[in-house]
């Protein structure tokens, strides 16, 4: 299947509007962490900025799986709609608290609640693509290209988000990025929630195993899923530590740092597009091991870096392994998670990425100031190496067998309505 054919097949699943709406609805998740850090730092100093941004990240890591579980039980539409509107209001409240110089505790509370209500558009979008593919006769062939396509949308949003925040902070006001995020979430979060492809609640069925050994309802935290969560946590550490080193080399210039870091998003998006043309030639387990091995090797290119030009080249090279790794990880979730708890499983992996980034930034930040960028790049390399050991030891076809269950009636109906 060529890349063009794969993209055409994916667009036919839901129509051309869904990818655009999905991009605009998940853009606030890329705007908010950087926007919060820039706004609070500009108004109250870097110390408070780091704390408030960290609480926003922490709230998102905790709230994500809870919203995913609700989406499985109640359906995507009411959960995403309520979370989008609440998140828009709480993001606006964070802006008011910061610009109005309210007490630090008020700012911290608004940030934590804003993070908690982030509606997890990325993980739930992946769940939606799997549901749509499951309602078609050729759905198995389209799952891989659909997840690859969604990864490109994800990477594009995380390239555009920090750049947009920097431009708005420079041209308008340090709070302009968060105001933009609140408006986008209120409008496009609502549109994404109400889109006709939104899956209905998962039907209440007994936890009887399918022919592939997977259950429609059952315990979500199986051994294989815990392995995938560990991989995403380590991937988050790679992102957080490497980004901290890049920002140090940028000497605090958010525009330069964001531009350098965007090199990873560009190359990762390109790799995701290319992957769509041969996504089904190799099993997901082999693809994950290959991508993580490539990332571990490419990360070593960060160690000698001592300037922004070298950092751009190094993180751009690492990006070519990022999308293939994440596509494989989220694809494997579809094999091991109960069909009726797919949204919860996807959001658990999303929270793993966020938690890993938060841990890395918190742990590496003080070390970089004293020891330079190597104190950030070395932990990134270590996390990449640990991820490689983990997938080589535990990610095997016998632990992640392909699942071929019939689509659940509610999901098939959602797909047919598109």
Counting runs of H as helices and runs of E as strands, what totals does the chain give?
A: 16, 0
Claim to verify: residue 253 and residue 145 sit in the same structural domain: no
Q: Is 280 a residue whose pLDDT tops 70?
A: no
Q: Looking at residue 300, what DSSP letter applies? A: G
Where is pLDDT greater, at 335 or 212?
335
Residue 211 domain-assigned (yes or no): no
Spatial separation of the C-alpha atoms in residues 198 and 205, rounded to whole Å: 20
Claim to verify: residue 263 and residue 390 sit in the same structural domain: yes
Count structural domains, the chain: 2
Which residue segment(s) compose the domain that 290 sits in? Answer: 221-401
Q: What is the pLDDT of residue 410?
A: 41
Phi, psi torsion values for 215, nearest 5 degrees: -105, 155
Claim to verify: residue 197 and residue 250 sit in the same structural domain: no
Which of the residue ranges 45-54, 74-83, 87-96 would you say has the lowest mean pLDDT?
A: 45-54
Residue 141 domain-assigned (yes or no): yes
State the residue for tokens 């988000």.
161
Claim to verify: residue 84 and residue 153 sit in the same structural domain: yes
Claim to verify: residue 180 and residue 313 sit in the same structural domain: no
Claim to verify: residue 130 and residue 5 sit in the same structural domain: yes
Residue 264 domain-assigned (yes or no): yes
Domain boundary among 170, 203, 236: 203
250-284 b/e (C-beta count within 10 Å ≥ 16 → b): beeebebbbbbbbbbbebbbbbbbebbbebbeebb
Spatial separation of the C-alpha atoms in residues 5 and 96, rounded to whole Å: 48
CA-to-CA dists, residue 269 to 126, 275, 323, angstroms: 16, 10, 7
Claim to verify: residue 182 and residue 104 sit in the same structural domain: yes
Spatial separation of the C-alpha atoms in residues 250 and 264, rounded to whole Å: 16
Over residues 384-406, the pLDDT tens digits come to 999 999 999 998 888 888 755 44
pLDDT classification of 213: cutoffs 50, 70, 90? very low
Residue 412 domain-assigned (yes or no): no
Claim to verify: residue 384 and residue 266 sit in the same structural domain: yes
Residue 30 domain-assigned (yes or no): yes
**CATH, residue 250:** 1.20.1250.20
Residue 140 domain-assigned (yes or no): yes
Claim to verify: residue 168 and residue 232 sit in the same structural domain: no
Claim to verify: residue 238 and residue 147 sit in the same structural domain: no
Claim to verify: residue 161 and residue 42 sit in the same structural domain: yes
Residue 78 domain-assigned (yes or no): yes
Residue 57 domain-assigned (yes or no): yes
Over residues 364-378, the pLDDT tens digits come to 877 887 888 899 899
């Amino acid at each position: 299947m060529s890349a063009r054919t794969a993209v055409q097949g994916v667009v036919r699943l839901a129509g051309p509007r869904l990818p655009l709406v999905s991009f605009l609805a998940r853009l606030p998740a890329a705007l908010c962490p950087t926007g919060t850090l820039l706004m609070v730092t500009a108004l109250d100093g870097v110390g408070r900025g780091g704390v408030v941004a960290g609480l926003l990240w922490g709230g998102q890591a905790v709230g994500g799986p809870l919203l995913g579980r609700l989406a499985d039980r109640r359906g995507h539409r009411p959960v995403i709609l309520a979370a989008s509107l609440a998140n828009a209001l709480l993001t606006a409240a964070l802006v008011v608290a910061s610009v109005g110089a309210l007490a630090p505790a008020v700012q911290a509370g608004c940030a934590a609640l804003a993070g908690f209500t982030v509606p997890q558009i990325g993980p739930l979008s992946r769940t939606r693509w799997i549901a749509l593919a499951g309602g078609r006769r050729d759905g198995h062939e389209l799952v891989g290209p659909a997840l690859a396509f969604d990864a490109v949308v994800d990477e594009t949003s995380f390239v555009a988000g920090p750049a947009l925040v920097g431009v708005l902070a420079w041209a308008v006001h340090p709070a302009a990025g968060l105001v933009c995020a609140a408006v986008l979430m209120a409008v496009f979060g609502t549109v994404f929630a109400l889109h006709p492809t939104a899956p209905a609640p998962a039907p209440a069925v007994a936890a009887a195993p399918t022919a592939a050994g997977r259950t429609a309802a059952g315990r979500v935290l199986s051994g294989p899923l815990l392995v995938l969560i560990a991989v995403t946590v380590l991937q988050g550490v790679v992102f957080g530590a490497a980004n901290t080193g890049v920002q140090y080399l940028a000497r605090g210039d958010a525009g330069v740092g964001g531009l350098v870091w965007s090199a990873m998003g560009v190359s990762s998006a390109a790799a995701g597009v290319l992957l769509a043309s041969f996504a089904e030639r190799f099993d997901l387990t082999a693809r994950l091991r290959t991508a993580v091995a490539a990332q571990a090797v490419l990360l070593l290119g960060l160690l000698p870096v001592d300037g922004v030009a070298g950092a751009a080249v190094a993180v751009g090279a690492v990006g070519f392994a990022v999308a293939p790794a994440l596509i494989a990880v989220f694809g494997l979730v579809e094999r091991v998670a109960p069909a009726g708890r797919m949204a919860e499983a996807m959001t658990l992996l999303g929270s793993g990425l966020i938690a890993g980034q938060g841990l890395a930034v918190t742990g590496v930040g003080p070390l970089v100031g004293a020891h330079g960028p190597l104190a950030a790049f070395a932990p990134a390399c270590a996390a990449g190496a640990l991820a490689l050991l983990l997938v080589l030891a535990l990610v095997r076809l016998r632990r992640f067998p392909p699942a071929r269950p019939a689509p659940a009636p509610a999901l098939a109906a959602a797909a047919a309505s598109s």
